[in-house]
Amino acid sequence: MDSNDISFENLPRAVAHLVSEIAEIKFLVERKEPPIIPVKRIPIDIVEACQIIGKAKPTVYTLVRKRLIPCYKNGKKLYFFEDELLDWISKGKKKTLQEIQSEAEANFRKNTRKANVDSNQNLQR
């Protein structure tokens, strides 16, 4: 509906059109997700890294030298990111006895089926 078509006779139709437009705008605004603000990654020094992973400085230097821990070097200073250190820690998880047993059973079942298929193929030849 054009704004030029609005007259006293067309007023109810114009109001209905505006109501539908407002409802559509309201729907779009409500549906829109809040903007995602990226988290700034601030590098930390070796002292803070030691506190996060619970190791002494010489141990951290050894891990860096062996390239076992994620780090960055700018000049003579080492830098770390907290999220990378926490991820590094979580990758070193030791499996529980239940996890080891369930993996062993799954591998056993898989290998048993594979062995049965192979023996059946050999018998058919």
Model pTM score: 0.51
What's the mean pLDDT in 84-93? 90
At residue 80, the 3 state secondary structure works out as strand
Half-sphere exposure of 21 (CA within 13 A, CB side): 7
Residue 58: the pLDDT is 96
Answer whether 80's CB lies under 8 Å from 53's CB.
no
Higher pLDDT, 78 or 33: 78
Answer whether 63's CB lies under 8 Å from 89's CB.
no
Angle, helices 57-65 vs 46-53, to 10°: value is: 100
Given a cut of 80, whether residue 74 has pLDDT beyond it is yes
Integer CA distances (angstroms), 57 to 11, 14, 50, 77, in order: 78, 74, 6, 13
